[in-house]
Amino acid sequence: MCPVHVRAEPRDFAESVLLPGDPLRARYIAETFFEDAKLVTQERGMLGYTGTYRGKPVSVQATGMGCPSASIVTEELIQLGAKNLVRVGTCGGYSRELRLGDLIVATSAAPQDGTVSSITRGVPYAPAAHFDIVHAAHHAAESAGRRTFVGQVVSSDLFYDPTEDPATLWGDLGVLAVEMEAAVIFTIAAMHGVRAGCLLTVSDTIGAEIVRISDEELRSAVDNMMTLALDTLNALN
């Protein structure tokens, strides 16, 4: 029986899956980077595709925005046989060292959300990426000469955060950036014994003011990130 939301059969998805938030980005990834891409699910507009990259099977599935939506997709992909999950998205940079277009390989994601705490019943928990994916992603980025930061991010329920000066609050704790899905993907993957990671492109720097990357620069930076994410998945045993 196929899952309720990711309406597909186990054979429809590869064991390695990219997880963008945006369904249109999922389609773009499949059409731009996959060979023989095939649409395998489109329930509720949450597009998923399977194809190959450099001869190896790979899939991409949109998660939607935020941890509640990402939790459903992650659970159901694991039901369908996914073993390696890599979130690919954008983030707001908190660290003063970050520049627009930089790449972040997340090692962990502080759960500033309600979904992870619901899953853990409030037990203190640190959602972490799998070492194999962090290692492979860092190696791929080094080989490509990409300006890369490795460290902790925070997953927030809020895109429009009313917190006064969140960059100082989180930056002083060593948190590099904010995004919205990684914490629950890491949590659910760990619960099921599968590997998860997260690559992020800095689309905004957040400080005294918010500075946004141009559309052209964002497209180029995200394209580079997608290649690195796919090379990361292909490097896994």
Name the active-site residue from 22, 132, 204, 223.
204
Computed over every residue of the chain, the mean pLDDT equals: 95
User: Residues 71-125: pLDDT tens digits?
Assistant: 999 999 999 999 999 999 999 999 999 999 999 999 999 999 999 999 999 899 9
- Dihedral through CA 135, CA 136, CA 142, CA 145, nearest 10? -150
User: Residues 215-231: pLDDT tens digits?
Assistant: 999 999 999 999 999 99
Q: Does residue 204 have an active-site annotation?
A: yes
Of 196, 95, 178, 185, nearest to 137 by C-alpha is 196
Phi, psi angles (nearest 5°) of residue 60: -135, 135
CATH code for the part of the protein at 10-235? 3.40.50.1580
Instruction: Count other Cβ atoms within 10 Å, centred on residue 171.
Output: 20
List the domain boundaries for the chain: 10-235
Contacts of 124 (CB under 8 A, 6+ apart): none
User: Residues 163-214: pLDDT tens digits?
Assistant: 889 999 999 999 999 999 999 999 999 999 999 999 999 999 998 789 999 9
